[in-house]
Amino acid sequence: MDTWFHTAPYVVSAYSGYVYPNETVLPWGVLIVIYPYITGLVAGAFIVSSLYHTFRIESFKPVARLALLSAFAFLCFAPTPLLSHLGHRERAFEAIWTAHWTSAFAAFGYVASFYALLLVLDIWFAFRADIVAMAQTTKGAAGRLYRILTLGSYDVSERALGYDRKWAGVLAALGIPAAIGLHGYVGFVFGSVKSREWWSSDLMPVIFLLSAVVSGVAALVVIYVVSSKLRRTAIDENCMTGLARVMWVSLIGTMAVEVLEYMEMVYRRVEGFDMIKQLVAGPMWVSLATQALCSLVPFVILTVLLVRRVRGRALVGWMSFSAVLMMVAVLAMRWNVVIGGQELSKTLTGILIYAPSLWGREGVIWAATLFVGSFVWLWALVRLLPPWAPIPTSKKGIINARADFGETGIDPARRHEWELREGG
């Protein structure tokens, strides 16, 4: 008999423990946990790039372009868990062609497409000089690809580069409301469902948005540290401190709103509160404790790092540790929302337990594959458009890097000059 209830068996509660028969299969599983998680990484990474490209905060320069590529890589993978989850994937685009406008889901295609377009344009302007350089120095198929990517624009004069910077700034500025919109919208998908006591909250979009920034910045720290280690390059301390500040502020915001949400639930003794207590003490306590611990520990570490102005290896080490914990915390938060909301029965008299399968389309392995896939895609993008390479230029404004600097086309001695120019 166990096999009939393997997906979501009954939990006998203090009294009835009754759930509707159709609830014994949870409609949304681990794939829908990963979907808002990856989407959140986009928002966080993009905001860091905007801090440099729009607000000209110099300390974020070493990661600004890496952040853009990261945001794009995550955005490309954000729809994949949703797509995998659909019963009829071949009809997925009907949600765009024949969108039903009263549905919160219908907006996803439009919001994500607009954002993707913005990101592609932003990346093009931010990397145009590099693309031109590589189009002129690379041979073969890769060279052809770079020449296509130039879109026929080879002008890298000082003024042209000025335009690039300006457009990258404008697009990044437009991207901020888009990022907020995208993630506020994901929160709305859950917050607007009135049938689920655990989801139905006005604070849901805010919680999703703030935690998105936390996870995105944390992911960027991990990517930056790992890539610097792999490339054996120095890690910029000012940049790390700047990222620590952003993480600290967004973490405080997230924790404040989360605590507010739980306090309201407890203080108002919302309907089904007895069941909520059992849910929190029962199937959800591990993920809730993970979320709380992995938020509090980084908060303490970051506070100490910022107050004591820690530098050097200690800064990098503790920041990386905090970043990994925060990524785990936000993943746990997504789990608590998506799975927790469904584990609390709509009858408000019973609880279900979700045990994800390992294999299969709704399994943990496939969800993890999609998540890892976004990093593999990022690796490919970084190979295509190295975000850290100094751009070689010649006085004439047209790059002929190969002639000037040999096969690599990069003059390490001019890095400083490039940095000055980039700073505008």
* Binding residues for other proteins (CB under 8 A): 1, 4-5, 7, 10, 15-16, 18-25, 27-28, 82, 85-89, 91-92, 94-95, 98-106, 108, 151-153, 155, 157, 159-160, 162-163, 166-167, 170, 174, 193-196, 342, 346-349
Shortest Cβ distance from residue 247 to other proteins (Å)? 30
Q: Which is nearer to other proteins, 159 or 416 (CB)?
A: 159
Nearer to other proteins, 162 or 412 (CB): 162
Minimum distance between the CB of residue 10 and other proteins, rounded to whole angstroms?
7
Of 346 and 414, nearer to other proteins (C-beta) is: 346
Contacts of 51 (CB under 8 A, 6+ apart): 57, 60, 64, 242, 246
Give the max Cα distance, the chain.
Answer: 82
* CA separation for the pair 43, 50 (Å, rounded): 10
According to DSSP, the β-strands at 351-352 and 10-11 are antiparallel
Minimal distance, residue 97 CB to other proteins, in Å? 9
CA 286, distance to chain mean position in Å, is 24
351 backbone dihedrals φ, ψ, rounded to 5°: -130, 145
Q: Which is nearer to other proteins, 9 or 143 (CB)?
A: 9
Cβ nearer to other proteins, comparing 23 with 422: 23
What's the min distance (Å) between Cβ of 194 and other proteins?
6
We find the least distance from the C-beta atom of residue 172 to other proteins, in angstroms, to be 12
Nearer to other proteins, 34 or 220 (CB): 34
Of 28, 79, 350, 59, the closest CA to residue 193 belongs to 28
Residue 201 neighbours by CB distance under 10 Å: 20
Cβ(423)–Cβ(151) below 8 Å:
no
* Minimum separation from the CB atom of position 214 to other proteins (A): 26
Q: Minimum Å distance from CB 246 to other proteins?
A: 25
Per-residue DSSP letter, 10: E
User: Which of helix, strand or coil describes residue 127?
Assistant: helix
**Residue among 197 and 258 whose Cβ is closer to other proteins:** 197
> What are the angstrom distances between the C-alpha of 384 and each of 4, 70, 127, 231, 233?
50, 13, 11, 16, 19
Kindly give, in sequence order, each residue whose CB lies less than 8 Å from that of residue 355, ignoring residues fewer than 6 positions away: 6, 7, 8
